[in-house]
């Protein structure tokens, strides 16, 4: 899947972490324009991890310094909003 974010195209890859050198749920590479997520996790976790990695990329593109704890908190809140209000844009036009 390729997503558009802040005039960038980001390729989202779901992979078995056995292919990775690291032991994370996901990671982002702004230079390469990729987000890689462990596809062995539950769907909710994959989805929230994507939001987490998007926040890393948004912060990086805007030179915003965030701690991992900040990224986690923002990701949990934004994911909760998207998950529980999937049609929110239909109500605000
Ligand atoms: Zn992170």
- For residue 60, how far is its CA from the centre of ligand 1 (angstroms)? 12
Residue 23 has a pLDDT of 67
Question: For the chain, what is the HEC assignment?
Answer: CEEEECCEEEEEEEECHHHCCCCCCEEEECCCCEEEEECCCCHHHHHHHHHHHHHHHHHHHCCCCCCHHHHHHHHHHHHHHHHHCCCHHHHCC
- For residue 92, how far is its CA from the centre of ligand 1 (angstroms)? 31
- For residue 57, how far is its CA from the centre of ligand 1 (angstroms)? 10
Q: How many domains does the chain have?
A: 1
Range of the domain at 66: 2-91
CATH number for the domain including 42?
A: 3.30.2010
Q: Give pTM, 2 decimals.
A: 0.90
Walk along the chain (93 residues) and give the pLDDT tens digit of each residue.
999 999 999 999 999 877 666 668 999 999 999 999 999 999 999 999 999 999 999 999 999 999 999 999 999 999 999 999 999 999 998
- For residue 25, how far is its CA from the centre of ligand 1 (angstroms)? 9
Residue 22 has a pLDDT of 61
């Amino acid at each position: 899947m390729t997503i558009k974010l802040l005039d960038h195209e980001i390729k989202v890859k779901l992979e078995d972490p056995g292919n990775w050198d690291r032991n994370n749920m996901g990671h982002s590479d702004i230079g390469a324009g990729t987000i890689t997520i462990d596809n062995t996790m539950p769907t909710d976790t994959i989805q929230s991890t994507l939001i987490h990695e998007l926040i890393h990329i948004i912060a990086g593109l805007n030179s915003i310094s965030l701690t991992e704890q900040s990224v986690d908190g923002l990701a949990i809140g934004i994911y909760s909003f998207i998950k529980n209000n999937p049609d929110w844009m239909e109500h605000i036009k």
